Amino acid sequence: MPAGSWKSIAVVVDPLQKVHPALQKAAVLAESSGARLTLLNTFVMPQPTANVAGISASEIIDSALRERRRKLEALAVTLRRRGLRVQCVVEWDYPEHEAVVRYVLAARPDLLVAETSHHNRLVRWILSNTDWELIRSCPCPLWLVRGGALPKKPKVLVAVDPAHVQAGRSRLDTRLIGAAQALVASIGGTISIIHADDVEHSRIDAVERLGNRHGILPANRYLFPGEATRVLPEAVWHVGADILLLGAVSRSRLGQPFIGTTAERVIDRVECDVFVVKPVGYRSPVSRHRPRLPA
């Protein structure tokens, strides 16, 4: 992804919240890159199944749509005063992650920004959290924001794996570094790369070639021995990374698409933002067609 390629950025916003860290960071990126910014709110409640006090389900949902759009527009006013091109989109849909992905499939933004938070292990494995589902099913690059403001010179760390069986045909490392370069071109900062190396089958030469090809300074190339799920949190701490870029590679489990294993196991072990990129040829499992609006 070359510098200056951010043309359209969508950010998931809950207008009922008081603070909006994802919106703050998306606005900084949109302002610096000149991208159009979409404030996106999708909601699954209310989901009425019968008339309440003579009010139909569609009327209740229409009322919620208008109220949420009004709150989004209030947020957009300040952004427009900064010169940003902003549009607001509110949709009822179900489930929540599919609502977001359906918008991405239809509007095709260059980037989706969403807020995330720590989930304990019990919650992670019992509940189908929107974070995990977006990692698996969002077709465009996904920036999961932890919170806090962007530093003036953010440190961007890219997890590369030139040894992966799909590395060549998916061009995932190139896409990851390209996304990092587009970020740094817009908001400043530095880029480092990290590879979780197998000491018995070291890929140091491949990492060096990758760094040379993309102009990554030798001092910003790291190889730590061990599994990626242990190495990446260590590297984030060592580098002091503000944003960790990860690739989500397709696999198969019981014949069903399964994606983002490393990202899912790493995201709760780091304090920084996580930026997820899909390989070439990825197809989202989410249908473009949303459920029918209740009568």
Number of alpha carbons in the 13 Å side-chain half-sphere of residue 172: 24
Which residue range(s) make up the domain with 270? 155-277
Beta-carbon-side half-sphere exposure of residue 204 (alpha carbons within 13 Å): 8
**pLDDT classification of 254: cutoffs 50, 70, 90:** very low
Residues 75 and 23 sit within 8 Å (Cβ to Cβ): yes
Q: Identify whether residues 121 and 200 lie together within a single domain.
A: no
Residue 291 counted as domain residue: no
Digit-coded pLDDT (tens) for 159-174: 998 876 555 545 889 9
**Beta-ladder partners of 9:** 37, 111
Concatenating the DSSP letter of every residue in 214-269 gives: HT--GGGEEEEES-HHHHHHHHHHHHT-SEEEEE--EEEETTEEEE-HHHHHHGGG
What is the dihedral sign for C-alpha 145, 234, 230, 141? Answer: positive
pLDDT of 263 reads: 72
Same domain, 166 and 139: no
Residue that terminates a domain, selected from 83, 117, 145: 145
For the stretch 176-227, pLDDT in tens is 999 999 999 999 999 999 999 988 888 999 999 999 999 999 999 999 999 8
| 288 confidence band (pLDDT: 50, 70, 90) | confident
With 70 as the cut, is the pLDDT of residue 130 above it?
yes
Compute the average pLDDT of residues 48-66: 71
Instruction: Please report whether residue 230 resides in a domain.
Output: yes
2 falls within a domain: no
Instruction: Evaluate whether residue 286 is within a structural domain.
Output: no
Do 104 and 42 reside in the same domain of the chain? yes
